[in-house]
A and B are shown apart, each in its own frame.
Chain A
Amino acid sequence: MTELRSRRVMAVASGGGHWVQLLRLRPAFSHQETTFVTVREQYRSDLDPGDRMIVVRDATRWDKFGVVILSLQIVWALIRVRPHIVISTGAAPGLIALRIGGLFGVRTVWVDSIANCEEVSLSGRRIGRHADLWLTQWAHLASEDGPRYVGSVA
């Protein structure tokens, strides 16, 4: 019998639909030590009492100052959590966490939002090929050199 290796997981999502989708993926990683990184303190009520959560600034790619602050917060979160795996459903905080985490040798998962049903999101196209596991939630968006499709959260 093989023993389950323990892993530290950092699960990252910005607000609204990104966060709701990340929560629906919880059964895939919550058996491991998980730290959630998101953009609103109020989301703590969606988690179990023992779950760890780090709140970072919400920023869009047009908000250069916000992106700098967010990047520093993500670096600090990575140093504190020292995750083996970073998983994200988007958007900006996840993109930055995957990019910087990847540079540190963290294994990364990008699950493109189910809201992107006509084309892979801009974030996904930017970060997808850097991710170790790149998934889309729409079968018709899967491709050889793009994301894989293995199902969706809804």
Chain B
Amino acid sequence: MSEAAILITVGAQMPFARLVDSVDRWAAQRPDASVFAQIGDQDPPPAHLHHVAMLLPEQLRSRIVEAEVVVSHAGMGTIITCLELGTPLIIFPREGARRETRNDHQVATAEHFGNRAGIWVASDEDELVRLLDDRSRLGTEAPTAPTTSPRLLDTIRDFVDA
């Protein structure tokens, strides 16, 4: 598998052209940047990025392991996987007002997870460009693996066994 330093992922449900096109414009000016993007059924596709519509879960996982940094919508699958694997993550949340998802839950998710080590939030293209240009610094602060609360597991286990 080719190793891309920067992995973009927008999830399985719908494309997210504002994110992909922002990174596309950035990459157009940095021909040595290695970017791989999972873009869904975006049309037209980006001109300067290696891209696929979909990745199988295990393909996404191994891409996340290899990536220097991941840039993603605020999908919980990607957020948790980056935390588990210790890969720095830039969250670019979908906005309800732009009809990128049904409401602003991604903005709230980004705010809540944005203060964790190894996670950054870009709320527009300028912030995203700054973080991407600064990406070598991001790697010095890797996320730490999350734990599932013991009390949550105990509560469910007691209920299951009762």
Contacts and interface: CB of A to CB of B under 8 A. Distances in A.
Interface of A: 4-5, 7, 9, 15-21, 24-25, 27-29, 31-32, 40, 42-43, 45-46, 85, 87, 107, 109, 111, 113-118, 132-133, 135, 137, 148, 150-154
Given A7-B161, A46-B57, A151 B151 contact: yes
B12 A153 contact: no
B161 A17 contact: no
Given A7-B160, A117-B108, A133-B156, A150 B149 contact: yes
A118 B56 CA distance: 30
29 contacts: A5-B161, A7-B161, A16-B11, A16-B75, A16-B76, A17-B79, A18-B76, A19-B77, A20-B76, A20-B80, A25-B153, A27-B153, A28-B160, A42-B56, A45-B58, A46-B57, A85-B159, A115-B74, A117-B108, A117-B109, A117-B112, A133-B156, A135-B152, A135-B155, A137-B152, A151-B155, A152-B152, A153-B80, A154-B80
Instruction: Say which size band chain B's interface belongs to.
Output: 35 or more
Nearest to A28: B156
Contact of B75 (A17, A40, A46): A17
Given A5-B161, A15-B12, A24-B80, A150 B75 contact: no
A117 B114 CA distance: 13
B57 A150 contact: no
Contact of B160 (A21, A29, A114, A148): A29
Contacts of A18: 76
